Amino acid sequence: MLKLLARLGENFLYLLETTGRMGMFLGASFASIFRPPYSIYAIVRQIYFFGARSVTVILIVGLFTGMVLGLQGYHNLKQFGSEELLGSAVALSLIQELGPVLTALMVIGRAGSAICAEIGIMRHSEQIDALECMAIDPLKYLVAPKFVAALISLPVLAFIFNIVGIFGGYLAGVVLLGVSEGSYFQGMYNSVEWADIRLCLIKSLIFGVLIVWICTFKGYFLHLSRTGVFGAEGVSRVTTDAVVFASVSILVWDYLIGSLILS
Amino acid sequence: MKRTSLEIVVGAFLLAGFISFSWLAVKMGDINPFQSETYPMTARFTSISGLKEGSTIELAGVVVGKVSQIELDAGDYEAVVHLNIDKTIELTDDSIASIRTSGIIGDKFIKLTPGGSDIMLEAGDEIDETESAISLEELVSKYIFESE
């Protein structure tokens, strides 16, 4: 009985400790963004890794998401005889929800797992300690460019996703199912407001921070993770953890931001 | 060489994002730098139920402006609607502003019907002739309760 209580307390303390460490990690990383030396080239390389190389997958996912929305929306709206609302239904669901969320999930799968494993292996092979020995701030050198790159890339990817998705909805709704082209686009122009586009922007910025925060944190503190396994198995575990945790947080935060801003 | 091609890819990526963003913002967000100029006008209605800020104003079915602000005149219990109308449109002082619905369940909009007077309204003037929103439910309930 006493043992059980001790276990419970230990778990709670571990939770508090991890939360605190995550907060301090975020604070320190952000502070290091503004500290010289500024390395633009490191950021460009990270944008290439985060953003430019994700474009292909975003294009494919966006196109098919839009087509599915067009297809489903058409059959649902047809029951009420209001197919002309298809354009606004597709555009609003893409811009408000699916664009930022699916982009974030794709980026977690493509880049988030990679940066977690990369930093985890650097920690394991003591490269991070080596950086510290050379008086190079590992947060500044490794983590800060990733934050900046994610803050730039995520909105860009989300907007590409929106445009491609709208085109996908056009393909399915107008070209294949015969909704009139004018009502598809005009309905869209009339119903989408600047507030929706701003919501998309805010969401993707916050998602960008969340992705890099969780994925780099998990890798960076590989040696402190409680599973107690180090080495290859440890890296594989923290990477899995990071991907699951980041994906769940994205969906939770999506709801929180939505309810905060739409209310 | 490697470095240059990487920068080109990143540049193309950022440009694509910027183009998508500005297309969305200009086409849908009504952030239009080339917006045509408008002049203000007001109109009073006994009921505007369903009309929103940003609702369109139509003349002969063509969009000629937007509702910029809706206030309640607490003294007369009337709604005061501020309209922004395209500079190129001139209205006679006996024009009628009526609130209509597009379709049965569609959005509310203001329909302008020009009159035959020689006197033109100027910026800031009030449109005197107005017709309030017609509520389908009210009409139906009137019909039901009168026939009893």
SS (H, E, C) chain B: CHHHHHHHHHHHHHHHHHHHHHHHHHHCCCCCCCCCCEEEEEEEECCCCCCCCCCEEEECCEEEEEEEEEEEECCCCEEEEEEEEECCCCCECCCEEEEEECCCCCCEEEEEECCCCCCECCCCCEECEEECCCCHHHHHHHHHHHCC
Tell me the per-residue pLDDT of A113-134, one tens digit each, with 9 for 90 and over: 999 999 999 988 889 889 889 9
B147 occurs within a structural domain: no
Q: What is the mean pLDDT of chain B?
A: 80
B56 neighbors B68 (Cβ within 8 angstroms): no
| Residue A108 reports pLDDT greater than 90 | yes
Contact between A163 and B54 using a beta-carbon 8 Å cutoff: no
Q: Which residues of B touch A107 (CB under 8 A)?
A: none
Q: What is the mean pLDDT of chain A?
A: 88
Query: Do B53 and B22 share a structural domain?
Result: no
Q: What was the pLDDT predicted at A18?
A: 87
SS (H, E, C) chain A: CHHHHHHHHHHHHHHHHHHHHHHHHHHHHHHHHCCCCCCHHHHHHHHHHHCHHHHHHHHHHHHHHHHHHHHHHHHHHHCCCCHHHHHHHHHHHHHHHHHHHHHHHHHHHHHHHHHHHHHHHHHHCCHHHHHHHCCCCHHHHHHHHHHHHHHHHHHHHHHHHHHHHHHHHHHHHHHHCCCCHHHHHHHHHHHCCHHHHHHHHHHHHHHHHHHHHHHHHHHHCHHHCCCCCCHHHHHHHHHHHHHHHHHHHHHHHHHHHHHHHHC
Contact between A194 and B6 using a beta-carbon 8 Å cutoff: no
Q: Tokens at residue A67, please?
A: 């087509």
Minimum distance, in Å, between the CA of residue A4 and any CA atom of chain B? 54
Nearest CA in chain B to A195: B29
Query: Do B76 and B5 share a structural domain?
Result: no
Contact between B16 and A55 using a beta-carbon 8 Å cutoff: yes
Q: How far apart are CA B10 and CA B8, in angstroms?
A: 5
Q: What was the pLDDT predicted at A101?
A: 95
Nearest CA in chain B to A164: B20
Q: Which residues of B touch A63 (CB under 8 A)?
A: none
B17 occurs within a structural domain: yes
Owner of token pair 């104003």:
B57
pTM beyond 0.80, yes or no: no
Q: Per DSSP, what are the bridge partners of residue A39?
A: none
Query: Do B42 and B27 share a structural domain?
Result: no
Q: Which residues of B touch A48 (CB under 8 A)?
A: 6, 9-10, 13
Q: What was the pLDDT predicted at A203?
A: 92
Tell me the per-residue pLDDT of A150-201, one tens digit each, with 9 for 90 and over: 999 999 999 999 999 999 999 998 888 888 888 888 888 878 888 888 889 9
Q: What was the pLDDT predicted at A60?
A: 94
Q: How far apart are CA A242 and CA A230, in angstroms?
A: 16
Q: How far apart are CA B51 and CA B127, in angstroms?
A: 17
* Cα–Cα nearest to A214, from A22, A27, A48, A33: A22
Query: Do B62 and B16 share a structural domain?
Result: no
> Which of B12, B16, B25 is the closest to A197 by Cβ?
B25
Minimum distance, in Å, between the CA of residue B78 and any CA atom of chain A? 28
> Which of B9, B23, B29 is the closest to A52 by Cβ?
B9
Contact between B30 and A194 using a beta-carbon 8 Å cutoff: yes
In this structure, are strands B78-86 and B62-73 parallel, antiparallel, or unpaired?
A: antiparallel
Query: Do B48 and B26 share a structural domain?
Result: no
Report, as an integer, the average pLDDT of A101-107: 94
Among A11-15, A78-82, B12-16, the range scoring the smallest mean pLDDT is A78-82
| Residue A219 reports pLDDT greater than 70 | yes
| Residue A253 reports pLDDT greater than 80 | yes
Q: How far apart are CA B66 and CA A108, in angstroms?
A: 42
Band (B139; pLDDT cuts 50, 70, 90) = confident
Band (B3; pLDDT cuts 50, 70, 90) = low
B148 occurs within a structural domain: no
CB pairs under 8 A between A and B: 71
Query: Do B55 and B25 share a structural domain?
Result: no
Query: Do B58 and B7 share a structural domain?
Result: no
Tell me the per-residue pLDDT of B24-61, one tens digit each, with 9 for 90 and over: 877 766 655 556 678 888 888 888 887 887 788 888 88
Report, as an integer, the average pLDDT of B69-93: 86
Tell me the per-residue pLDDT of A18-28, one tens digit each, with 9 for 90 and over: 889 889 989 98
Query: Do B31 and B58 share a structural domain?
Result: no
Q: What was the pLDDT predicted at B32?
A: 56
- Choose, out of A49, A194, A199, the residue to mutate when testing the contact with B (most B CBs < 10 Å): A194
Query: Do B105 and B90 share a structural domain?
Result: yes
Minimum distance, in Å, between the CA of residue B30 and any CA atom of chain A? 7
> How many residues belong to chain B?
148
Q: What was the pLDDT predicted at B147?
A: 65
Owner of token pair 């003349």:
B59
Burial status of residue A65 (CB atoms within 10 A of its CB: 0-12, 13-18, 19 or more): buried
> Which of B13, B16, B28 is the closest to A188 by Cβ?
B28
**Rounded to whole angstroms, what are the CA distances from A156 to A33, A66, A93?**
21, 18, 18
Q: Which residues of A touch B (CB under 8 A)?
A: 41, 44-45, 47-48, 51-52, 55, 91, 95, 152-153, 155-157, 159-160, 162-163, 188-190, 192-194, 196-197
B29 vs A: CB within 8 A:
yes
- Choose, out of B21, B56, B101, the residue to mutate when testing the contact with A (most A CBs < 10 Å): B21
Report, as an integer, the average pLDDT of A209-220: 92
Contact between A159 and B12 using a beta-carbon 8 Å cutoff: no
Question: Residues of B numbered 44-83 whose beta carbons fall under 8 angstroms of chain A's beta carbons: which are they?
Answer: 54, 56
Q: Tokens at residue B29, please?
A: 């967000």
Query: Do B49 and B12 share a structural domain?
Result: no
Q: What was the pLDDT predicted at B34?
A: 56
Q: Which amino acid is at B69?
A: Q
User: Percentage of residues in chain B with pLDDT exceeding 90?
Assistant: 0
Q: Determine the structural domain holding residue B15 and report its residue range.
A: 1-35
Q: Per DSSP, what are the bridge partners of residue B10?
A: none
Q: How far apart are CA A131 and CA B127, in angstroms?
A: 74
A 10 A CB-CB count for A182 gives 11
> Is the ipTM value over 0.90, yes or no?
no
The region that residue A226 occupies, defined by phi over 0 for left and psi between -120 and 50 for alpha, beta otherwise, is alpha
Q: What was the pLDDT predicted at B135?
A: 73
Query: Do B135 and B82 share a structural domain?
Result: yes
Band (A109; pLDDT cuts 50, 70, 90) = very high
Q: Provide the domain count of chain B.
A: 2
Q: What was the pLDDT predicted at A263?
A: 64
Query: Do B57 and B14 share a structural domain?
Result: no
